[in-house]
C-alpha cells in the first residue's frame, strides 16, 4: 500500500453578517500577532544580537493576552494566533536556509486575510464545520466530496480581495492510488501560441484567459482610478477589479489542473525544460503573455501530481538548444529567430519549431534517465565574463 497523500480541498462559503464580523476580527488579531512577533524578533536581534526561538515567541504571546490594553486578543480563538507565531518561525527558517527573503510585515490592505485552525479548534461532524468562537456552522458549498474515511487535520479560512470567502480543508486522502504502469514517456514544450506542445505532435492551444477579459478589466481599472481615494465608491470599484482578476485566475487554474492531471495519468514520465521564468518576465514584449500562460503553476502542478501518482518528472537543462537542434540528424543552427515557426535542416527534414523542441526535450530526458553516472545531458556553457575581464592570450 502506497503512502497516504495529503490533500487540500478548497470550497467557497457564505458567512452570516455575525460570522463575517467574527472572522474579520480573527484575521486582524492574527495579523497583529504576526507583526508584533516580527517586530520583537527584529528589535532583539538589532539591540542584543540574539535570535528568538519559537518557544520564546509563544511565551510572549501568552503575556500579550494578559495585558489590559490587548484584551481583544482573548475575544478570538487562541489557535489561529498560535499558528501565526508558528508561521513566522517557518518564515525565518526559510530565510536562514536561503529559500526566501527576510519576513515582511503584513499589511491590512495587501496581505492575504486568513486564519488556520487545527483539530482542537474546529468541529467536523457529518460534513458540517464549526469553528471555535464562531457562531454556528459555516454555510459551505460542497462542490466536491471529501472521502468518507478522511478526517480533516487542519482548516484554513480566508477572504480574497474580491470579498469571496473560502475554507480549505486539509486531509490525509487514502483514496489516491497510482494508476497502472505504462511505457509511455512524453516531452513537453511550453509556449505562448500553443500553451503546450507534446513530442507526439499534439498541441494544446493557449486559452489566453487574461486577453478574453482585457477590455472589461481595463474599464474597471479606469473606473477605479477615477474614484476619490479613501471613498466607499473607490472600495467598491477595487472589489470589482479584484473579481475580474479572480475569474481569470480561476479559469487558468482549472485549465492547468485538467491538463496536468491528464499528462501525469497517461504517461509514466513527463519531461520538461528548466526555464528561468523570472528572467523571461523581464521581456516587456512577452511578460504579459508569459504571466497569463502560467508556466510556473504548470510545473508545480506536474511536480506534486507526479509524486501523488507514482510518476516521474524529468527536468532537462535550460541551455539545451531544443528549438535549434534538428531532431533527425542532431545538427544545431547558429540562430533561429522567434518569428520562424518552421525550418528545414540540411538533411532535408522539415520541422515545426515547437514539435521539434518537444522531441529534443524528450530525447534529452531519456538520455538523462539512462545515464547511470548521473552526468548532465550536455555540458553547461562556460560562465559568462564581463567585457574586458578575460585575459588576452599571447
Domain spans in the chain, listed from the N-terminal domain onward: 5-173, 185-206+264-370
> Is the separation of the CB atoms in 198 and 215 below 8 Å?
no
pLDDT for 34 beyond 60: yes
Does residue 354 carry a catalytic annotation? Answer: yes
How far, CA to CA in Å, does 269 sit from each of 76, 106, 260, 376?
A: 48, 40, 12, 18
pLDDT digits (tens, 9 = 90+) for 365-375: 988 776 634 44
pLDDT in the model for residue 3? 64
Does residue 273 carry a catalytic annotation? Answer: yes
Q: What is the mean pLDDT of residues 272-289?
A: 90
Choosing from 116, 273, 292, 368, the catalytic residue is 273
> Is the separation of the CB atoms in 391 and 298 below 8 Å?
no
Cα gap 47→369, rounded to integer Å: 52
Task: Give the three cell numbers for residue 58.
Answer: 509563544
pLDDT digits (tens, 9 = 90+) for 317-351: 888 888 888 988 888 888 888 888 888 888 888 88
DSSP 145: P
Cα gap 105→111, rounded to integer Å: 9
Choosing from 189, 210, 292, 368, the catalytic residue is 189
> Is the separation of the CB atoms in 155 and 134 below 8 Å?
no
pLDDT for 50 beyond 60: yes
pLDDT in the model for residue 138? 96
Record the pTM. Answer: 0.83
Choosing from 116, 210, 292, 354, the catalytic residue is 354
pLDDT in the model for residue 389? 40
Cα gap 126→312, rounded to integer Å: 37
Does residue 254 carry a catalytic annotation? Answer: no
Task: Give the three cell numbers for residue 277.
Answer: 521564468
How far, CA to CA in Å, does 139 sit from each of 14, 119, 130, 167?
A: 6, 19, 10, 10
Amino acid at each position: 500500500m502506497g503512502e497516504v497523500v495529503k490533500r487540500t480541498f478548497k470550497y467557497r462559503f457564505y458567512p452570516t453578517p455575525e460570522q463575517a464580523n467574527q472572522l474579520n476580527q480573527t484575521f486582524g488579531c492574527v495579523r497583529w500577532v504576526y507583526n508584533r512577533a516580527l517586530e520583537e524578533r527584529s528589535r532583539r536581534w538589532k539591540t542584543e544580537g540574539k535570535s528568538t526561538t519559537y518557544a520564546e515567541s509563544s511565551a510572549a504571546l501568552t503575556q500579550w493576552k494578559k495585558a489590559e490594553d490587548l484584551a481583544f486578543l482573548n475575544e478570538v480563538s487562541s489557535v489561529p494566533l498560535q499558528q501565526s507565531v508558528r508561521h513566522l518561525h517557518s518564515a525565518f527558517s526559510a530565510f536562514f536556509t536561503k529559500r526566501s527573503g527576510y519576513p515582511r510585515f503584513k499589511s491590512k490592505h495587501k496581505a492575504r486575510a486568513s486564519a488556520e485552525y487545527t483539530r482542537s479548534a474546529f468541529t467536523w461532524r457529518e460534513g458540517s464545520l464549526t469553528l471555535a468562537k464562531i457562531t454556528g456552522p459555516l454555510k459551505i458549498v460542497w462542490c466536491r466530496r471529501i472521502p468518507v474515511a478522511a478526517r480533516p487535520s487542519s482548516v484554513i479560512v480566508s477572504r480574497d480581495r474580491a470579498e469571496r470567502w473560502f475554507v480549505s480543508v486539509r486531509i490525509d486522502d487514502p483514496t489516491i492510488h497510482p494508476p497502472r504502469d505504462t511505457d509511455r514517456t512524453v516531452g513537453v514544450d511550453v509556449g505562448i501560441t500553443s500553451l503546450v506542445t507534446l513530442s507526439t505532435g499534439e498541441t494544446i492551444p493557449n486559452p489566453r484567459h487574461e486577453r478574453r477579459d482585457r477590455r472589461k478589466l481595463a474599464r474597471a481599472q479606469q473606473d477605479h482610478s477615477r474614484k476619490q481615494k479613501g471613498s466607499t465608491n473607490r472600495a467598491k470599484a477595487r472589489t470589482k477589479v479584484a473579481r475580474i482578476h479572480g475569474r481569470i485566475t480561476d479559469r487558468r487554474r482549472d485549465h492547468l489542473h485538467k491538463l496536468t492531471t491528464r499528462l501525469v495519468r497517461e504517461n509514466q514520465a513527463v519531461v520538461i525544460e528548466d526555464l528561468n521564468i523570472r528572467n523571461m518576465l523581464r521581456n516587456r514584449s512577452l511578460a504579459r503573455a508569459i504571466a497569463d500562460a502560467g508556466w510556473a503553476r504548470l510545473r508545480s502542478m506536474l511536480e506534486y501530481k507526479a509524486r501523488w501518482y507514482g510518476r516521474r518528472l524529468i527536468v532537462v537543462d535550460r541551455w539545451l538548444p531544443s528549438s535549434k537542434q534538428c531532431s533527425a540528424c542532431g545538427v544545431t543552427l547558429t540562430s533561429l529567430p522567434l518569428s520562424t515557426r518552421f525550418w528545414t535542416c540540411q538533411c532535408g527534414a522539415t520541422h515545426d519549431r515547437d514539435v521539434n523542441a518537444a522531441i529534443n526535450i524528450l530525447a534529452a530526458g531519456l538520455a538523462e534517465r539512462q545515464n547511470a553516472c548521473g552526468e548532465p545531458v550536455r555540458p553547461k556553457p562556460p560562465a559568462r565574463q564581463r567585457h574586458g575581464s578575460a585575459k588576452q592570450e599571447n
